[in-house]
């Protein structure tokens, strides 16, 4: 029997063998010889690539070497590409731009997801630096970075695009490009940010053609936007997207205008599968007027998040009963609030009577909202009996139920329930091991919690990697 020259295996056979190996084993096997190494760099094995070029764990030299290798061997092979980098570093921004330029030679690209490894919710969160002189330079880098992205978009046939957590300056040009080159293929567009933009939104010229371009994206199934003085005008354009299933809107400051109920009624009519996920971030004014200025009866509201707005609006909780057939999730989070006893209003009196005691609005929501599966309330006192009442009303249908131990009023004179009794009762009702959370282990920073919270709205795209 003649000896087998494994180095001379036909590429087709070698590719077939590699398909049976785990990615780690495939990389190890590729170190056998140059022929095997070449076989590793086949599009068959690189459908998805997540490239993290933030320099928090490695030296910049190592990161630069990794980027050089990826640009030369991998970036042109992938179908779904995710890029993570630290926008505070000019060097990282420059490396990120080189990666985007390398994508120009990719003929297979379908999905582009760009994220920041660092996010803050201050108005200058993207270009934060001790030297103000660097800000214009970094802004010019972002502009160059965005132009590179627009050039990649011109390749066409993009199915999904995400620019996570900070503003795309040339968002109107992006929509034009996607409408021109990928109107038939684009299913997912995610542009909602973590905090206010670094530039003044009112200074961005609004083109009427942007409305037409948005209208042409008829195959969109998921869309996320920052709702501001420009983008609210695009809402009627969504009526052309009959397949739209998820609309994520982030609000960072008062719009100054009110969106009529007719807009939402038309959206429900022309987009029958639509679910609205509304998130209010770090804006007391919007939370205070949410029930009068933003919520409308015809909204297909399924998820509401109010994050670090420094108040809970009980009138909003009552207003949510208008969405009792659609509401699936309520998250209202504050670390320190000006009205921490809001959910106890009327409950604790020196001489209580049946006439005094009001029902906690969360109890009513748990009873009336038949699809409610997620409830997170931080920063507001709540009675132990109400904690159990919510669990009893929702039972195992409540998949996520988070409260802070510090917020549960075990020490009130009327409370007849101890910690262990409460944990056991809620666990039995939900058919799971449940306990309240500890604030000290929860809040690293507001921005980190917000990022964790809103990333769930992006989970459908991130699960691809």
Q: Are 192 and 226 in contact, with CB atoms under 8 Å apart?
A: yes
The pLDDT score that the predictor gives to residue 15 is 73
Q: How far apart are CA 109 and CA 152, in angstroms?
A: 9
Residues 330 and 30: their CA atoms lie apart, in Å, by 49
Under the banding of pLDDT at 50, 70 and 90, the label for residue 135 is low
Q: Is the pLDDT of residue 111 over 80?
A: yes
pLDDT, tens digit, for every residue of 137-184?
667 778 889 999 999 999 999 999 999 777 788 888 999 999 999 999
Write the DSSP symbol of residue 395.
G
Q: Which one, of 310, 367, 377, 313, lies nearest residue 345 by Cα?
A: 313
- Weakest mean pLDDT among 269-278, 423-432, 442-451: 442-451
pLDDT in tens, 297-320: 999 999 999 999 998 999 999 999
Is 268 in a helix, a strand, or coil?
Answer: helix
CA distances from 6 to 9, 35, 110 (A): 5, 10, 35
Q: pLDDT tens digits for 359-413? A: 889 999 999 999 999 999 999 999 999 999 999 999 999 999 999 999 998 887 6
Q: Residue 283 pLDDT more than 50?
A: yes
Beta-carbon contacts of 289 under 8 Å, excluding residues fewer than 6 positions away, are 254
Between the alpha carbon of residue 287 and those of residues 209, 307, 332, 390, the distances in Å are 33, 9, 10, 23
pLDDT at 420 over 90: yes
| Structure-token pair, residue 219 | 């195959």
How confident is residue 124, by pLDDT bands cut at 50, 70 and 90? very low
Q: Closest by alpha carbon to 217, among 167, 151, 299, 160?
A: 160
DSSP bridge pairs for 330: 304, 375
The span from the CA of 52 to the CA of 47, in Å, is 17
Supply the pLDDT for residue 199: 45
The DSSP H or E segment spanning 216 is none
Q: How confident is the model at residue 32 (pLDDT cuts 50, 70, 90)?
A: confident
Res 309: pLDDT = 92
By the 8 A CB rule, do 101 and 69 touch? no
Q: Is the dihedral of CA 209, 213, 216, 221 positive or negative?
A: negative
Sheet (strand 301-307) strand order: 48-52, 80-85, 111-116, 160-163, 188-190, 222-226, 246-251, 275-281, 301-307, 329-333, 374-378, 400-403
Q: Name all domains of the chain by residue range, CATH numbers in brackets.
A: 9-45 (no CATH), 48-457 (3.80.10.10)
Give mean pLDDT, residues 68-83.
91
> What's the pLDDT band for 132 if we cut at 50, 70, 90?
very low
Q: Which pLDDT value is given to residue 461? A: 45
Distance of alpha carbon 97 from alpha carbon 111, whole angstroms: 17
Phi, psi of 235 (to 5 degrees): -55, -45
Sign of CA dihedral 385, 390, 393, 394: negative
pLDDT above 90 covers what percent of the chain?
52
Nearest by Cα to 274 from 215, 210, 220: 220
Summarised one tens digit per residue, pLDDT across range 85-102 is: 887 788 888 899 999 999
The C-alpha atoms of residue 343 and residue 337 are separated, in whole angstroms, by 12
Positive or negative CA dihedral for 245, 249, 255, 258? positive
| Residue 190 near residue 215 (C-beta atoms within 8 A) | no
Q: State the Cα torsion 424-430-433-434 to the nearest 10°.
A: -70
- Decide if pLDDT at 209 tops 90: no
Q: Work out the pLDDT band at 4, boundaries 50, 70, 90.
A: low
Whose tokens are 């699936």? That residue is 328
Question: Residue 196's pLDDT is what?
Answer: 59
Is pLDDT of 130 > 50? no
């Amino acid at each position: 029997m003649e000896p087998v020259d494994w180095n001379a295996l036909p590429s087709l056979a070698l590719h077939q063998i590699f398909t049976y190996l785990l990615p780690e084993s495939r990389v190890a096997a590729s170190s056998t010889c140059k022929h095997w190494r070449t076989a590793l760099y086949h599009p068959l094995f690189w459908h998805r690539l997540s490239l993290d070029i933030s320099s928090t764990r490695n030296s910049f030299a190592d990161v630069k070497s990794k980027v050089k290798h990826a640009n030369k061997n991998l970036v042109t092979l992938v179908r779904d590409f995710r890029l993570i980098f630290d926008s505070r570093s000019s060097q990282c921004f420059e490396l990120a731009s080189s990666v985007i330029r390398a994508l120009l030679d990719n003929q297979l690209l379908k999905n582009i997801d760009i994220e920041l490894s660092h996010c803050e919710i201050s108005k200058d969160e993207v270009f934060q630096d001790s030297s103000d002189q660097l800000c214009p330079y970094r802004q010019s880098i972002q502009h160059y970075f965005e132009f590179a992205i627009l050039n990649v978009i011109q390749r066409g046939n993009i199915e999904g695009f995400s620019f996570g957590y900070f503003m795309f300056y040339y968002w109107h040009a992006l929509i034009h490009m996607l409408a021109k080159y990928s109107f038939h293929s684009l299913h997912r567009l995610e542009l909602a940010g973590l905090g206010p933009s670094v530039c003044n939104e009112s200074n961005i010229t609004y083109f009427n053609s942007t409305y037409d371009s948005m209208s042409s994206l008829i195959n969109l199934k998921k869309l996320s936007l920052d709702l501001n003085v420009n983008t609210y005008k695009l809402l009627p354009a969504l009526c052309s997207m009959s397949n739209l299933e998820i609309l994520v809107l982030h609000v960072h400051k008062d719009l100054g205008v009110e969106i009529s109920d007719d807009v939402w009624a038309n959206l429900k009519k022309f987009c029958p599968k639509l679910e609205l996920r509304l998130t209010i971030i770090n804006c007391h004014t919007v939370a205070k007027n949410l029930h009068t200025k933003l919520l409308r009866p015809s909204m297909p509201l399924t998820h509401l998040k109010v994050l670090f707005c420094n108040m809970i609006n009980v009138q909003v909780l009552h207003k949510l009963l208008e969405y009792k057939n659609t509401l699936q999730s309520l998250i209202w989070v504050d670390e320190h609030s000006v009205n921490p006893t809001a959910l106890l209003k009327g409950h604790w009196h020196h001489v209580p009577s049946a006439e005094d005691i009001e029902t906690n609005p969360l109890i009513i929501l748990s009873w009336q909202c038949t699809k409610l599966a997620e409830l997170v309330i931080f920063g507001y006192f709540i009675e132990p009996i109400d904690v159990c009442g919510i669990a009893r009303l929702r039972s195992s249908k409540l998949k996520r139920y988070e409260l802070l131990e510090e917020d549960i009023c075990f020490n009130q004179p009327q409370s007849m329930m101890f910690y262990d009794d409460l944990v056991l009762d809620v666990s039995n009702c939900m058919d799971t091991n449940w306990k309240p959370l500890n604030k000290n282990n929860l809040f690293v920073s507001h921005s980190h919690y917000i990022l964790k919270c809103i990333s769930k709205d992006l989970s459908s795209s991130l699960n691809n990697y």
